[in-house]
Chains A and B, each alone.
Chain A
Amino acid sequence: MSAFSYENKTPIISVNSVSYDYRNSQGESIARGVRGIDLDVYQGEFVVLLGHNGSGKSTLAKLLNGFCVPDEGSVTVAGIDTKDDLKIYDIRSKIGMVFQNPDNQMVAAIIEDDMAFGPENLGVPRDEIEERITWALDVVNMSEHRKRSPSKLSGGQKQRIAIASVLAMMPDVLILDESTAMLDPKGRKEVMDTARMLNCQKGMTVILITHYMDEAIEADRVVVLDEGKILTSGTPKEVFSKVDLIKSAGLELPIASKISSELIALGYDIPFALTDEELAEGICKLKSKI
């Protein structure tokens, strides 16, 4: 994991004191969305938005690509305000979004046709669509499935196809909106590995929305949402070590962090651990000291 440098970077997404409520047709507020959110996302960053159900994390995602327009404040993507109706498709072509249920985001019964859907909508020339499909399938390592039907694939594979379909639109930012929530551990790992690889090797800005804390371990920055507000943010280590705050947000620490924080509380001299390896190392060092 390389430390992300914020020097000389301009944010690709800027969220400025945004509030949003879900409203009924009379304009009355029926559910809280988010309150006073400030967030900048930089090019090439891997940001994880953490929060339990109803914390406002998916609302925030919908605000980022203009599905929802803020009641107060503003959201700008690459300098374009999401309130600008005429440029909404510029924003959506820059922000690729992958949703929770892979079955509900595929339009065609053949994988390459589904992948062509986005570029077709943008009016990309035919030959370029062909190149993009070949490239995107190669990136997610699913080239051999090109002419097949998605119905025969596993959840993780379907979700990788969904990512490839979004990649074919050549977005600057990839948002994974709870894209791992319906998957088994193997599928989750496939999707996480793909997201991480895109971030490291292709420099893709990735915003991952999840309630699994272990998916946040390798992020550049973790943002914890609770009741529509940003509770805390920072590097995974900074955030995870605020044990009580995390608990109050209804989230579950990775097992290694839980054990190490309890050991620290008992007075043992070990560093706060995020992964099992770090915990094992800390305990070994402690043992050699005794």
Chain B
Amino acid sequence: MNAAALTRSRIFPLALGLGALAAAILAVEALIRIGVINRFIVPLPSQIALAFERVIVEEDIAGRFRLTLFEAFTAGAMITVVGVSVGLLLFRINILRQATETWVAALASAPTVLMYPLFLVIFGRSAWTIIMMGFVAGVPPVILKTIEGLTGTRRVLINVGKSFNLTGPQLFAKILFPAALPTIFVGIRLGLIFTLINVVGVEFLINFGGLGQLINDLAERYDLPGTYAAISFVILVSVCFFVLTEWIERWLRPVD
């Protein structure tokens, strides 16, 4: 197989990626067994694999997963309702949009997660601190993408609506909102990703809640294989969440 065929192939890069990952895991296993890597710092990958079952059964991973999911989706529902509503408001009142859109964009890139001690004081060491931190991180992209989706509606669609003498609410319900929906969903997806990152992160930092707390607990018990297994589980959940929302986004995207 020549270089061009390798580049076009779908199987070879996938096999190369998975093969390299497997080789790296085997290399780490071998290096630990021969003593090059200290097994009290990095546990054997085989031990990590075995720890999965123990973590799932003994640490009530299903319950923790449900709690993290509940926190993420409560914050997700809040960012959807508040973000879309504020986006609509800013779209309707142009002067308000011009005055505040750059502030919302600045908020989207600000290190808001560092406010978690402040939220701890306001909401206490409870799920609400975690939910509100997820909300603060996730709402700016929803607002920005709602505005972008509504302002980006093709002029011809609006003209068609006007030619049918649609009223303002009808124009919004039949033309503007459906046309903006894919872009709004992009915002919701981004918001959900930021929310999930913050939810798990704050759970870890304040040692409360679901999966984030599990990692902290296992690390404090110096259960190395368990800690690595829990981290792997969180990565797996994040990746699945990311892939799922990406798939829904593609499904919603209009065909060009």
Q: Do A and B bind each other?
A: no
List residues of A whose CB falls within 8 A of some B CB: none
